[in-house]
Amino acid sequence: MSEQVSRRDFLKLAGLGAATTAVLTGCGPASRYVTREPYQQMPEYNSVGQSTYYATTCRECAAACGLVVRTYQGRAIKVEGNANHPLNLGKTCARGQATLHGLYNPDRVTDPIKKSRGDSAGEIVDWNAAIQAVADALKNNQPDEIAFLLGTSSDHLFDLVTDLANSTGINAPIRFGAMSMFESRATLSKAAENLFGQTGLPWFDVGNADVVFSFGANFLETWLSPLSYTRGFAQMRKATETKLRGRFVQFEARMSATGGKADEWVSLRPGTEALVALAIGRLVAEIRGGSVPRIFSSVEPADAAEQAGVKLEALEHLAEMFANSKAVAIPGGPALGQSNGLAVAEAVLALNALVNNFGKSGGVYLSALAPNQTEYNRPASSQEMQALVEKMKSGAIKVLFVHGVNPVFEIPNSLGFKDALSNVGQVISFATFPDETALEADYVLPDHHGLEGWGYQRVTTGTDLPVLSGAQPVVTPYYNTRSTADVLIAAAQLAGGSFASALPFADEVEFLEKKVSALMSESNGSFSALDSTAFMATFQQFGGWWKNVDSKVTPNAGSVLNKNVKAEVAEFAGEGEFFFVPFMSPTLGEAGANKPWLQELPDPTTTVMWTTWVEINPETAHELHLENDEVVRVISEAGEIEVPVYLYPAIRPDTIAIPFGQGHTAYGRYAENRGANPADLLGKHFNEAGDLAFAGMKVRIEKTGKTKPVSRLESRMGVYGEELGEEH
């Protein structure tokens, strides 16, 4: 894109093909090829009183849902789902809706700053100096002393850094997010690899199943691709003329928002998921007749039931349900974040083999790969993060670039990331918000907000089609920020040598164009174009490119039932009478705490707003003389936090749970000094797949004598029916 193209021409090129209700435009006002014009000469799609809609991709999590953002006179007004996007079909989640509160957040990093660590303020530098600093950092260190830590939601940047790494020898970029940690993604894909011999992320076709067994997977909240799973859930639940209402069973120690929707909620003792899954498998096999497959043979149902604290009859009843219908079993969430998480995942996946649903409607698939992807590429597991931390500690990393992730907050303290930072010579953060990691950085070179920037994101799971979701600026950057890709390209040019040749682009858009137009030659695309400019414009206009071919992969079921899974109970770290279940806040996610409307959304299960709480069974609380709102100290081997009590009726008496998402010490006025971070309690224990055994801790609680009124939307009297007048 060497010559300048006006916005008007861009629109002409894009044509009028959009089938959404709104007219989508192909190029955002942030395009550097466009000069701002006075209102009298506004382009027709940006006239006074008319809204303009831009398609882009949501960056609030890694799922890559398509958005259409309504803008009005250069301001982003409302986020809507892109109705054509194969992943979310026009739907959005609460976090996607609130992304505008990130864009117009009053606490963004407004300028590039050079600062000393621990200070939130610093000296504002101009971008040339900032780029020079990045170039120096690249140039003045050995390639293997340079590391990039990226978030899960900017695939084009990841590709750019990967290209850079491939040709310069710097460390390959590492991607991390607390969300992927709590999802136990690594465990899930590792289990699939072990059982099927194929790499990939399993995809469960909930929508076409009649019975869904979920072992800890919180797929209606944040797990993998919540919008797509929610759509599947709705389809499964709805009775039609041809099918009955599907049934859903959730196995977990603490009722999650997903578990709340279950027809049957089985509260098993944490750590016994593998046993229970195997026991059900054995019972199912017995019901279906024939011999019990090897994988299930090592478990005794009665034993497993006793270990798990459920009735054998209950398991038999569930097995009956599973055996006689189109069933699917999903492993996920805290069930996998335990010492035997991999065994859990394998055992649960094996259940599917039993009912032979691999590659069948309502069964298990491996997710379709995105168009420009050759194999599934997952974010780093916690153990891989630990390896990075070790390298940093040893001084092997001299420069750390951080983008799109807030490791100081998101990585549990026990892994020692923050301490390791002090052994890193230079930390350069590209944070949009003044988060905890930016606080510890030497430079903060703010990237645009996701709605101000270009990019693409691969859809890794959730749809049949290979989808590359496109992102474009919907508004001009509000502050003096600059796209990190641009900064890196410019810095690489300045650094010269292999750096310059690795990124031979004028800017980010050119890079994108090169990457995206590579798809032009593909067949069955959602659109085609004659030249790369038109292709790129249409890509932006439609919010992405996808191949209209069902590309889900059927797992190789062959030997699954003859594998071996250790039928044992997970090990728990630490002393204490309570199992500890940390969970991702469904409304806040990993990075939502600075968005005021997300703070004010009530948690789906407890209706708590604006703070952290610890869920305790009312019976247990009664025994411990604990009341609602009483602040307790939760102590694990790794640390302690203070949180107010919420008497939660749907949690095992031997378990407590705390949501993740609050407890920031930086990150803007709405997030700072609010609640507590349960990651502080997590010890350095991993499962066999390298995921953190975050649900494998035991904790104890102490009274503090303090109270903190927890803001709840729900009544404290009315939601428990009969016991009116008593506070809950």
Residue 55 or 682: the one with the smaller Cβ distance to another protein is 55
Among 67, 100, 308, 405, binds another protein (CB under 8 A): 100
Nearer to another protein, 90 or 143 (CB): 90
By CB atoms closer than 10 A (0-12, 13-18, 19+), residue 536 is buried
Q: How far is the CB of 102 from another protein (least distance, A)?
A: 10
Residue 35 burial (C-beta neighbours within 10 Å; 0-12, 13-18, 19+): exposed
Tell which positions 389-418 bind another protein, by CB under 8 A: none
What minimum distance in Å lies between the beta carbon of 71 and another protein? 10
Question: Which one, 183 or 691, has the nearer CB to another protein?
Answer: 183
43-72: contacts with another protein (CB under 8 A)? 72
Q: Are 610 and 200 in contact (CB under 8 A)?
A: no
| Residue 613 or 686 having the CB closest to another protein | 613
Q: Smallest gap, in angstroms, from Cβ of residue 90 to another protein?
A: 7
Near another protein by CB under 8 A: residue from 31, 82, 84, 88: 88
* Interacting residues with another protein between 596 and 625 (CB under 8 A): 596-602, 604-605, 607, 609-611, 617-619
CB of 367: closest distance to another protein in angstroms? Answer: 19
Query: What is the distance of C-alpha 224 from the center of its chain?
Result: 6
Nearer of residues 599 and 677 to another protein, judged by Cβ = 599
- Give min distance, CB of 696 to another protein, in A: 22
Q: How far is the CB of 381 from another protein (least distance, A)?
A: 27
Strand pairing report for 364-366 and 202-204: antiparallel
- The 8-class DSSP code of residue 701 comes to E
Q: Rule CB under 8 A: which of 650-709 touch another protein?
A: 650-653, 669, 674, 709
For the beta sheet containing 455-458, the strands, ordered from the edge strand earlier in sequence to the opposite edge, are 455-458, 467-471, 544-546
Residue 18 binding another protein, by CB under 8 A: no
Query: What's the min distance (Å) between Cβ of 82 and another protein?
Result: 12
Nearest distance, CB of residue 111 and another protein, angstroms: 15
Smallest gap from residue 166 Cβ to another protein (A): 38
Q: Which of these ranges, 77-85, 125-133, 145-153, 487-495, lies near another protein under the rule CB under 8 A?
A: 77-85
Alpha helices, H only, 327-447: 341-354, 382-393, 407-410, 417-421, 436-439
38 binds another protein (CB under 8 A): no
Give, to the nearest 10 degrees, the angle between helix 508-517 and helix 484-495.
100
Give min distance, CB of 445 to another protein, in A: 21
Instruction: Return d(Cα 419, Cα 436) in angstroms, integer.
Output: 13
In this chain, which stretch among 97-105, 280-288, 338-346, 498-506 interacts with another protein, using CB under 8 A?
97-105
CB atoms within 10 A of CB 443: 22
562 contacts another protein (rule: CB under 8 A): no
SS3 for 436-469 is: HHHHCCCEECCCCCHHHCCEEEECCCCCCCCEEE
Phi and psi at residue 284, to the nearest 5°: -60, -45
| Min CB(418)–another protein separation in Å | 27
Nearer to another protein, 97 or 677 (CB): 97
In whole angstroms, the minimum distance from the beta carbon of 221 to another protein comes to: 7
Q: Where is 633: in which H helix or E strand?
A: strand 630-635
Q: Identify which range of 174-182, 335-343, 505-513, 647-655 contacts another protein by CB under 8 A.
A: 647-655
Quick one: 77 or 396, whose CB is closer to another protein? 77
Phi, psi of 618 (to 5 degrees): -60, -35
Which of the ranges 101-109, 334-342, 406-414, 676-684 carries the binding residues for another protein, by CB under 8 A?
101-109
Cβ-based neighbours of 686, under 8 Å, separated by 6 or more: 381, 382, 383, 386, 692, 693
317 lies in the site for another protein, by CB under 8 A: no
Burial class (CB in 10 A: 0-12, 13-18, 19+), 374: exposed
Rule CB under 8 A: say whether 23 interacts with another protein.
Answer: no
Residues in the chain: 728
Label residue 68 left, alpha or beta by phi (over 0 means left) and psi (-120 to 50 means alpha).
beta
Query: Parallel, antiparallel, or unpaired: how do β-strands 51-57 and 24-25 relate?
Result: parallel
**Cβ closest to another protein, residue 255 vs residue 370:** 255
Residue with token string 């050119």: 510
Residue 407 or 586 with smaller CB distance to another protein: 586
For residue 189, give the 3-state DSSP assignment.
helix
Cβ proximity to another protein, 295 vs 657, nearer residue: 657
List binders of another protein among 454-483 (CB under 8 A).
478
Report long-range pairs for 3-8 (Cβ below 8 Å, ≥24 apart): 4/33, 5/33, 5/533, 6/33, 6/34, 7/31, 7/33, 7/34, 7/43, 8/43
CA distance 487 to 130: 8
| Smallest separation (angstroms) from another protein to the CB of 718 | 3
CB of 601 to another protein, least distance (A): 4
Pairing of strands 211-215, 327-331: parallel
Q: What φ, ψ does residue 213 adopt, rounded to 5°?
A: -105, 120
Minimum Å gap between C-beta 246 and another protein is 10
For another protein, give the closer residue by CB, 264 or 510. 264
d(C-alpha 602, C-alpha 609), whole Å: 5
Closest to another protein by CB, 218 or 541? 218
Contact string 161-200 vs another protein (x = CB under 8 A): ----------------------------------------
Beta carbon nearer to another protein, 270 or 371: 270
Helix-then-strand count for the chain, H and E: 24, 26
Residues contacting another protein: total by CB under 8 A:
89
Helix (H, G, I), strand (E, B) or coil at 389: helix
Structure tokens at 603: 């948690």
Is 710 a residue that touches another protein (CB under 8 A)?
yes
Is residue 76 at the binding interface for another protein, with CB under 8 A as the rule? yes
Paired tokens of 671: 């997030």
Annotate each residue in 252-291 with x if it binds another protein (CB under 8 A) or - if it does not, as one string.
---x-xx-xx---x-x------------------------
Identity of the amino acid at 476:
T
Least distance CB 717 / another protein (angstroms): 5
Q: Percentages helix, strand, coil for the chain, rounded to the nearest 5?
A: 35, 20, 50
Q: Is 530 in the site for another protein (CB under 8 A)?
A: no
Nearer to another protein, 77 or 635 (CB): 77
Stretch that binds another protein, among 78-86, 140-148, 281-289, 410-418 (CB under 8 A): 78-86
Give yes or no for residue 19 binding another protein (CB under 8 A): no
Q: Does residue 12 belong to the site contacting another protein (CB under 8 A)?
A: no
CA distance 710 to 728: 12
DSSP letters, 549-608, are S---B----TTGGGS-----PPP-BS--SEEEEEEE-TTTTTT-TT-HHHHTSPPTTT-B
The amino acid at 296? F
Q: Which is nearer to another protein, 599 or 687 (CB)?
A: 599
Q: Which of residues 216-255 bind another protein (CB under 8 A)?
A: 220-221, 226-227, 230-231, 233-234, 237-241, 244-245, 255
Return the number of the residue (141 or 235) whose C-beta is nearest another protein. Answer: 235
Which one, 52 or 171, has the nearer CB to another protein?
52
